């Protein structure tokens, strides 16, 4: 119980950090996809050290192979990734460093995707959520969008579509 209260209090603090903040474009602050990026990292180019901003994406999926595949695609697209197998892992990631976007599996044991969205909404955590699901039941897309999802993609995922969708939702969030 003590651990749960600690995570909840950290999520409350994260809610303030996850609130949309105005971002101003800066030179070299765009990815190849033209998206404002979230996490600052430094790279050395000869004798020059340059700061680069990268989109930080959290993935919540109970299937390790899906997390690994999505993580590889996003890392190849110069994004930073936190892969989570459980909602508890995700809540710890959000409490520590709020991601720019969440890729969320809909069908999971324990807390499913709808439960996670409700939990985050009740705590005031505002991040773009892309729901992914192999179970495209009637009304799933509409129910997810009503529950707070920004986008809904069907598995198997198209890598280019996922990267583009992440770029679109992060750019839309940045322009709010």
Segments making up each domain of the chain, as ranges: 56-175
What CA–CA distance (Å, rounded) separates 17 from 38? 12
State residue 49's pLDDT score.
61
Q: What is the pLDDT of residue 7?
A: 55
Give pLDDT tens digits along the chain (176 positions): 455 555 555 655 655 556 544 333 333 333 334 443 455 555 565 666 665 679 999 999 999 999 999 999 999 999 999 999 999 999 999 999 899 999 999 999 999 999 999 999 999 999 999 999 998 788 889 999 999 999 999 999 999 999 999 999 999 988 76
pLDDT at position 33 is 41
Cis peptide before 156 (omega within 30 of 0): yes
Instruction: Please tell me the predicted confidence (pLDDT) of residue 31.
Output: 39
Q: What is the pTM of this model?
A: 0.76
Which run of H or E residues covers position 5? helix 2-18
Query: Going by DSSP bridges, is the β-strand pair 101-105/80-84 parallel, antiparallel, or unpaired?
Result: unpaired
Overall CATH class of domain 56-175: alpha beta
- 92-to-12, 21, 115, 171 alpha-carbon distances in Å: 12, 21, 16, 25
């Amino acid at each position: 119980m003590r651990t749960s209260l600690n995570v909840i209090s950290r999520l409350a603090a994260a809610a303030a950090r996850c609130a949309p903040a105005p971002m101003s474009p800066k030179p070299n602050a765009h990815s190849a996809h033209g998206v404002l990026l979230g996490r600052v990292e430094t790279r050395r180019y000869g004798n020059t050290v340059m700061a680069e901003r990268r989109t930080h994406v959290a993935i919540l999926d109970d299937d390790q192979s899906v997390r690994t595949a999505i993580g590889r695609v996003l890392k190849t697209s110069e994004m930073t990734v936190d892969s989570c197998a459980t909602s508890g892992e995700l809540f710890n990631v959000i409490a520590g460093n709020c991601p720019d976007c969440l890729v969320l599996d809909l069908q999971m044991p324990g807390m499913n995707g709808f439960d996670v969205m409700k939990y985050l909404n009740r705590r005031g955590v505002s991040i773009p959520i892309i729901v992914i699901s192999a179970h495209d039941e009637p009304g799933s897309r509409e129910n997810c969008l009503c529950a707070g999802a920004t986008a809904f993609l069907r598995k198997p995922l198209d890598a280019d579509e996922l990267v583009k969708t992440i770029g679109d939702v992060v750019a839309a969030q940045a322009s709010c």
